[in-house]
């Protein structure tokens, strides 16, 4: 009886360490993106990008009007992977994560630094899809500004 109780307690306390949720896997994919940016490693980026990923920014022109900018993911991957002097350091905070089946939606406020110098801030909005190879980023849209940044 003692062995059964001990085994049950051991299982109860160690099982959570081995249980990874979809939210954890979604966070891991997004963290891999930012780790790849910091390392200048295009292979890391590609490991979490879906082959048909879309990359956009909602920005304001100098006159204040809104514009949607679409970037080719390949150009972004090339930019990150090309040697550059300063580290691309995007620091996020986790906002809302929603998952329904194979679709995840994630909101992450961020601050972006070139090396140690603050560049801009905003919000990333990610869409991910669960594939046989794991969660892949299928869409990113962000905002960018230099003021009214989160603390």
Tell me what pLDDT residue 149 has. 87
Instruction: Walk along the chain (151 residues) and give the pLDDT tens digit of each residue.
Output: 565 444 444 444 444 444 569 999 999 999 999 999 999 999 999 999 999 999 999 998 989 899 999 999 999 999 999 999 999 999 999 999 999 999 999 999 999 999 999 999 999 999 999 999 999 999 999 999 998 887 7
Instruction: Please state, in angstroms and rounded to a whole number, the distance separating the CA atoms of residues 25 and 134.
Output: 8
- Coil, strand, or helix at residue 110? strand
The class of domain 20-143 in CATH terms is alpha beta
Tell me what pLDDT residue 3 has. 59
- Coil, strand, or helix at residue 7? helix
Instruction: Please classify residue 45 by burial: count the beta carbons closer than 10 Å to its beta carbon, then call 0-12 exposed, 13-18 middle and 19+ buried.
Output: buried
Beta strands in the chain (DSSP E): 49-60, 66-71, 88-92, 97-100, 103-114, 117-131, 134-143
- pTM score of the predicted model: 0.85
Provide the token pair at 41.
Answer: 């490693």
Q: Which of 48, 52, 12 is nearest to 137 (CA)?
A: 48
- Say if CB 89 and CB 36 are below 8 A apart: no
Tell me what pLDDT residue 128 has. 98
Instruction: Please state, in angstroms and rounded to a whole number, the distance separating the CA atoms of residues 2 and 138.
Output: 51
């Amino acid at each position: 009886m003692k062995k059964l109780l001990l085994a049950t307690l051991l299982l109860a306390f160690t099982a959570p360490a081995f249980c990874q949720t979809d939210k954890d896997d979604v966070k891991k994919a997004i963290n891999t993106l930012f780790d790849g940016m910091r390392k200048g490693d295009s292979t890391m980026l590609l490991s979490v990008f879906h082959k048909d990923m879309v990359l956009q920014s909602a920005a304001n022109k100098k006159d204040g009007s809104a514009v949607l900018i679409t970037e080719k993911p390949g150009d972004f991957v090339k930019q990150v992977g090309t040697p550059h002097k300063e580290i691309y350091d995007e620091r996020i905070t986790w906002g809302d994560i929603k998952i329904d089946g194979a679709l995840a939606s994630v909101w992450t406020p961020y601050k972006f630094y070139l090396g140690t110098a603050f560049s801009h801030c905003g919000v990333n909005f990610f869409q991910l899809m669960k594939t046989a190879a794991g969660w892949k980023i299928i869409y990113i849209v962000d905002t960018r500004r230099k003021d009214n940044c989160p603390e």
